[in-house]
């Protein structure tokens, strides 16, 4: 006589069926990796995720928030760009990317990275703290250099760009010595007339700000393993 199924075994059986029927989540990770001609191993090295994790994600496994941050930083894209909209299937069901609720700004630790943000187009900046007199003076001096470059930088010969990067590297180091981190990023702003324009953002934070994401195990890989997130207004997709 066959044994009766116990409640525990029945639960286990139904759980296995549920997992087997779970649909994979469409994402753009394989596409973004292929566009850059990276192997899975290379992406694992850049993102600091394991190669096995990369393989699972590309097969449709759910991406946790830590992996989202790591991949978005590696590809230098917004988190929403990791996901892909699927074509309509049976019953008209579609997979749509999650709404963009925040954007990532990486810590700027090189003059070249800072110039890349400055030259994005329009530039917004803000304080993540209430600066004291010395801190404010250091930041204002820094922004003066930024403003001059925005106005007159196009007149500088391309061969002098390396020297300019060194100047901005020095200014970043001076802020670092004062305990101030600079975070920045580029984005595309859409206008009502259908046109788009580039813009950059700079945010100043104190080094001990609890909102800074700087995983302890990644600190050995340098200052750049540090970022912040900013909320995005859904109406304009801008912070």
pLDDT tens per residue across span 195-230 = 777 788 899 999 999 888 888 777 787 888 888 887
Would you say the C-alpha torsion 161, 163, 168, 172 has a positive or negative sign?
positive
**pLDDT mean over 50-67:** 88
25-92 to CATH, choices 2.60.34.10, 3.30.9.90, 1.10.760.10, 1.10.260.40: 1.10.260.40
Confidence of residue 87 (pLDDT cuts 50, 70, 90): very low
Portion of the chain with pLDDT greater than 70, in percent: 77
pTM of the model: 0.59
pLDDT for position 91: 46
Going from N- to C-terminal start, the domains of the chain cover 25-92, 102-231
Tell me the CA distances in angstroms from 170 to 134, 147, 152, 177, one per residue in order: 17, 16, 19, 11
State yes or no: pLDDT of 10 exceeds 50.
no
- The neighbouring-strand residues paired with 205 are 181
pLDDT tens per residue across span 151-168 = 887 777 767 888 889 999
């Amino acid at each position: 006589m066959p044994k009766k199924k116990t409640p525990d075994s029945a639960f286990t059986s139904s759980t296995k069926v549920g997992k087997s029927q779970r649909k994979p989540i469409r994402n753009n990770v394989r596409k973004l990796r292929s566009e850059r001609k990276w192997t899975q191993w290379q992406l694992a090295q850049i993102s600091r995720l394991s190669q096995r994790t990369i393989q699972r994600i590309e097969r449709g496994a759910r991406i946790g928030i830590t992996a989202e941050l790591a991949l978005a930083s590696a590809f230098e894209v917004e988190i929403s760009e990791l996901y892909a909209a699927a074509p309509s299937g049976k019953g008209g069901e579609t997979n749509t990317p999650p709404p963009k609720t925040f954007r990532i700004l990486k810590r700027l630790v090189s003059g070249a990275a800072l110039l890349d943000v400055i030259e994005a187009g329009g530039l917004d900046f803000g304080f993540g703290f209430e600066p004291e007199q010395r801190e404010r003076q250091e930041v204002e001096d820094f922004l003066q250099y930024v403003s001059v470059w925005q106005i007159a930088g196009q007149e500088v010969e391309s061969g002098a760009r390396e020297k300019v990067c060194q100047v901005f590297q020095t200014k970043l180091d001076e802020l670092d010595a004062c305990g101030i981190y600079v975070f920045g990023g580029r984005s595309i702003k859409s206008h009502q007339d259908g046109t788009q324009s580039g813009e950059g953002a700079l945010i100043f934070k104190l080094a001990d700000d609890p909102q800074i994401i700087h995983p302890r195990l990644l600190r050995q890989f340098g200052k750049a393993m540090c970022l912040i997130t900013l909320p995005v207004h859904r109406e304009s997709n801008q912070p």
